[in-house]
Structure 1
Amino acid sequence: TEMADSEMDYNIVFPDAGTSERHWQGTKEPVVILLGWAGSKDKHLSKYSSIYNEQGCVTIRYTAPIKTVFISESFGYKELSSIALKLLEILFDYEVESSPIFFHVFSNGGFMLYRYIVEFLHTDKQFSSLNVIGAVVDSAPGSGNVRGALRALKAILGPQISPVLRYILLSLFAVTVFMLRIVLYPLTKYIHKNHYDAVRDNPPAWPHYYLYSKADQVIRHKDVEDFVESFRRKGVQAEYFDFGSSSHVSHFRDFPEEYAAKCRSFLVTCMKDLEGTELKRRHHVQSQNQ
């Protein structure tokens, strides 16, 4: 089934019972939440969600509006926070809140939203029972990269708007972001940390797998590598893989089989870790009851 909320345009897909049973034999199938890059269409995201649907997972696809990613976040409005809350509430609406939860996050647009989801999972009692098992992060996160953000915005604006208007919008955006996010950031970070620092400083405990490329012109590969190293220093399991030649969020397009295989095997590993943790917990409870 595919649904769209009146306020939020998301899609949820349930697998057929046979596929789920074949892959997850008796365990609850994972729910995979895909957070799209700014400007991504649902038809783009559906190609990624099919990686997981074919493996018998429930998938939820959502992309935050462009203005929220580029304008609200740049000016420090936490509009994405209320979207993050609604996305987590969807799990309860469809009664899948006791299933294992897995994220697939694209570019800074998806990562900005992921940041608020992580914050809710850390601080909100309503979500303390949710069982997040892992996250794949594609082409993110990047930090303080005005040139990369401009390239992303330019690609989203596309050729349909006039060159003069495009130039004005890009110039305004560049000046604003440069002032707020770089020049004044030592001060503004106390009011509103950027997504990169917020997640790095208070990382989630579940394993992460970062898929990136040194050829990416939007996200600097060093940002991703430094981020992963900071997770590791804090004891969070984090891996990364460099596709080498693919451009921003094009790793699946250029290497479809390899990309899908990496996502599936990481999900399976996270599910096995979950089963191991469950067994340990049961043994602990049994030994306490004896």
Structure 2
Amino acid sequence: MASDEIDYNIVFPDAGTSERHWQGTKEPVVILLGWAGCKDKHLSKYSSFYNEQGCLTIRYTAPLKTVFISESFGYKELSSTALKLLEILYDYEVENSPIFFHIFSNGGFMLYRYIVELLHNDKQFSSLCVIGAVVDSAPGSVNIRGALRALRATLGPKISPFLRYVLLALFAVTVFLLRVVLYPLTKYIHKNHYDAVWERPPVWPQFFLYSSEDQVVRHRDVELFVGNLKQKGVPVDLFDFVSSPHVSHFREFPEQYVLKCRNFLVACMKDLEGTEKKKRHLIQNQ
């Protein structure tokens, strides 16, 4: 469905399923941010296993031009998109529910970056309760070869070879100039997603799923990023699927993938329940 110029899909869980899994507590709202070029039919396969666990899910994928062009040139279109996504929670009156993110590739992480900034800086969203995030195949630092692979896969076979070559060449030159050669200067105007979240990460638990064989996002970028979060005291873990291609861990290892995501969500909900019990205990003893 569409709201304020963004297309998203929302699925409400069956009441009986939610009660069975969450036993009277508010069911989590899982926000899935798709990879560049992701079709909703692909993203829905991920949301389905959260729906089966009694979660409300919201699916959204940023447009290709926003990910590959706007961000490359430093236009912050995704900032307004992040705002609209968070406002959806208020539109459906689920702003008091636990919020959980599932992010895919740099395309999803670019949008996640602006959501994190809003949750840090905007008083409107200070009451939102984010309990955790799964990050699949991200984040990657400047990697022109990987970005070109991602763009080539996204363009698909329907586009003519000549046009594909022109688009890839223009993209490579732009990224190299703005994100490599001139980045020591342009970063003061617009940091890339990797550096922005590196410098001011979210405080909620995060679980990074990646692969040593990923040809788009380098595994060492993910590992360095996680190491930085640990040094900053952020609860974080990671798992290497070793052999699966970029954003293909679920396709290659479906049972293991679902189990890890569900277990992490349950652990985040238990942490929230423990925190709320401590708050009630403190109030009762005042």
Q: TM-score, normalised by structure 2?
A: 0.99
Paired position in structure 2 for 1:196? 194
How much has 1:5 moved relative to structure 2? Answer: 2.6
Paired position in structure 1 for 2:284? 286
Paired position in structure 1 for 2:47? 49
Paired position in structure 2 for 1:107? 105
CA distance in 2 between partners of 1:260 and 1:110 (Å): 19
Paired position in structure 1 for 2:180? 182
Paired position in structure 1 for 2:145? 147
Q: Confirm or deny: 8 A CA contact 2:4 2:84 kept in the other structure.
A: no
Secondary structure at the aligned position of 2:6 is classed as: coil
1:189 counterpart letter in structure 2: K
CA-to-aligned-CA distance 1:53-84 (integer Å, 9 cap, x gap): 00000000000000000000000000000000
1:98 counterpart letter in structure 2: N
CA distance in 2 between partners of 1:185 and 1:65 (Å): 24
CA distance in 2 between partners of 1:146 and 1:4 (Å): 33
Paired position in structure 2 for 1:82? 80
Paired position in structure 2 for 1:257? 255
1:138 paired with 2:136, answer yes
Match 2:2 to one of 4, 16, 28: 4
Paired position in structure 2 for 1:18? 16
Matches within 5 A, 1:83-98: 83-98=81-96
CA-to-aligned-CA distance 1:243-279 (integer Å, 9 cap, x gap): 0110000000000000000000000000000000001
How much has 1:6 moved relative to structure 2? Answer: 5.8
CA distance in 2 between partners of 1:237 and 1:200 (Å): 14
Paired position in structure 1 for 2:121? 123
CA-to-aligned-CA distance 1:117-159 (integer Å, 9 cap, x gap): 0000000000000000000000000000010000000000111
Paired position in structure 2 for 1:211? 209
CA-to-aligned-CA distance 1:139-188 (integer Å, 9 cap, x gap): 00000001000000000011111111110100000000011001111111
Q: Confirm or deny: 8 A CA contact 2:31 2:57 kept in the other structure.
A: yes
User: CA separation of 1:18/1:92 partners in 2, compared to 1, >3 Å: closer, same or farther?
Assistant: same
2:217 counterpart letter in structure 1: I
Q: Confirm or deny: 8 A CA contact 2:211 2:219 kept in the other structure.
A: yes
How much has 1:4 moved relative to structure 2? Answer: 3.3
CA distance in 2 between partners of 1:239 and 1:20 (Å): 27
Structure 2 gaps of 5+ residues are none
Paired position in structure 1 for 2:227? 229
The list of structure 1 runs, each at least 4 consecutive aligned residues, that deviate by more than 2 angstroms after superposition, is: 3-6
Paired position in structure 1 for 2:272? 274
Q: TM-score, normalised by structure 1?
A: 0.98
CA distance in 2 between partners of 1:69 and 1:54 (Å): 31
The aligned length equals 286
CA-to-aligned-CA distance 1:225-256 (integer Å, 9 cap, x gap): 00000000000011000001100000000000
1:241 paired with 2:201, answer no
Structure 1 gaps of 5+ residues are none
